[in-house]
Chains A and B, each alone.
Chain A
């Protein structure tokens, strides 16, 4: 019905519903906090670093620089090889894991630092010990298998994964989840406030009367604070009519409609 969007009115409506927005935001923060602390299983991460260096097979090959470029391309290949069933099935067999190859594949990520020949194998698991075991086994299986697969024997494990004294889970990150919860809660609360404001079809401003009903506003009466005690003023003339001692039940009986007395 309202054709113009008034930013001031919009902000006023939000300010009026500020408690609602704050409550919804806090609710979502609390919810994501509770979920990340109690319901989500902590997940640990272990990583192994592997250095891969292709032996120069052809002495006539071009300069050292080109050689490194070729190695870098190979690093990409190793990335895929590590995550391939050829390696992972062996890891599963060796460690007698219950997971399938694709499950394990999801939990392993291989990355290489830019312009280096170092591969980092990161393994996520619900147990730190298992994560370390899988990371190290993957590295050693890769080291053993790569010889037959690609005729490379210059694979070194730089840093095997170790179990730290006090392992910190990488997932869930409660602070991150709560921040996300706060953002979602704030957006939902704001949306709810706008929705409630749009759905409110009551008269709220003097302009409503003048624009919609086309009548003039004679005046406003602000909300009267509740008067606890009714003080009778001193100059009551008609004292006979005062029914101070008649209890309210009797007044009700008198005023209660008997027939056709309701709307």
Chain B
């Protein structure tokens, strides 16, 4: 019953960046986009990984919306669902998850045939595909490296959504291969200790940590400077 409730919730995932381009939250995503741009070392094609310490902290929501605001800035963006244990991207964009990343890693099909249009100009999606039994092995295979090279040739920016860091090893493998990693924190829910552990995990995997996105932040009167400027 509980899982049913969850899956229903994730089916109506909040793509604020698309549904409400003028909203405060979308503006907050644009601020994050600017800050990431300043943090990245070069202007070349970049791969950015979104991960978190534990589950349900808002990785997928953040990566979807970040992909939308990046596409809005004129970049050709590919959003990859690398969470091959609990994929959600197809729910958010209401697509079927028949083919995707897992097929490409098993060398079945070509990238250009596998990606899907998102409905947002400039944003393509690479869904998870059939859920494999050995996601960590698939991700650590050389197939991922060649696939990443191919993606970089076709897109300006690759945003990767990944499983939680402390639960499985997938994100550490991916973080090592990406140019930058963003840690998503569920404000008021994530324990300080788990964020520390997540940081240590990223440090050991030699990832470049761009910074932290604080999700579900309760705005108070004191945070006046974040409120919508145009209103």
Contact = CB atoms under 8 A, between A and B. Distances in A.
Interface stretch (A17-25, A94-102, A147-155, A228-236): A228-236
Contacts of A246: 96
**Across chains A and B, which 7 residue pairs bring their CB atoms closest together, nearest first?**
A219-B32, A238-B117, A236-B119, A218-B211, A263-B167, A259-B133, A220-B217
Contacts of A203: 185, 187-188, 190-192, 195, 214
24 contacts: A202-B190, A203-B188, A206-B214, A209-B185, A209-B214, A213-B212, A215-B199, A217-B212, A218-B36, A222-B25, A233-B120, A236-B117, A237-B119, A241-B96, A241-B116, A242-B94, A243-B95, A243-B96, A251-B96, A255-B131, A258-B133, A260-B134, A262-B85, A263-B86
B22 interface: no
Given A220-B187, A254-B97, A255-B90, 14 more contacts: A215-B211, A218-B32, A218-B211, A219-B28, A221-B216, A222-B217, A227-B19, A238-B118, A251-B11, A251-B90, A251-B97, A255-B97, A260-B133, A262-B85
Q: Is the interface of A mostly helix, strand, loop or mixed?
A: loop
A164 interface: no
Interface in B44-72: 55, 58, 61-62, 65
Interface residues of B, number: 71
A224 interface: yes
B31 interface: yes
Given A202-B190, A243-B95, A224 B8 contact: no
A157 B163 CA distance: 91
A221 B211 contact: no
Contacts of A218: 32, 35-36, 39, 182, 210-213
B94 A219 contact: no
A59 interface: no
Given A221-B25, A224-B16, A209 B226 contact: no
Interface of B: 7-8, 11-12, 14, 16, 18-19, 24-25, 28-29, 31-32, 35-36, 39, 55, 58, 61-62, 65, 85-87, 90-91, 94-98, 116-121, 131, 133-135, 163-164, 167-168, 182-183, 185, 187-193, 195-196, 199, 209-219, 226
Contacts of A254: 90, 96-98
Best-surrounded residue of B188, B192, B199 (most CB of chain A within 10 A): B192
A262 to B, nearest CB: 6
Interface string A243-263: 110101001101111111111
Given A227-B19, A236-B119, A254-B96, A215 B12 contact: no
Contact of B94 (A206, A209, A243, A252): A243
Contacts of A238: 95, 116-119
B195 A220 contact: no
A212 interface: yes
B25 A224 contact: yes
Interface string A163-201: 000000000000000000000000000000000000001
B213 A221 contact: yes
A263 B121 contact: no
A212 B32 contact: no
A248 B7 contact: yes
A203 B135 CA distance: 30
Contacts of A224: 14, 16, 25, 61
Contacts of B183: 215
B14 A227 contact: yes
Contacts of B226: 220, 222
Nearest to A224: B14
B196 A213 contact: yes
Given A218-B213, A233-B18, A241-B116, A204 B168 contact: no
Given A203-B187, A220-B187, A261 B131 contact: yes
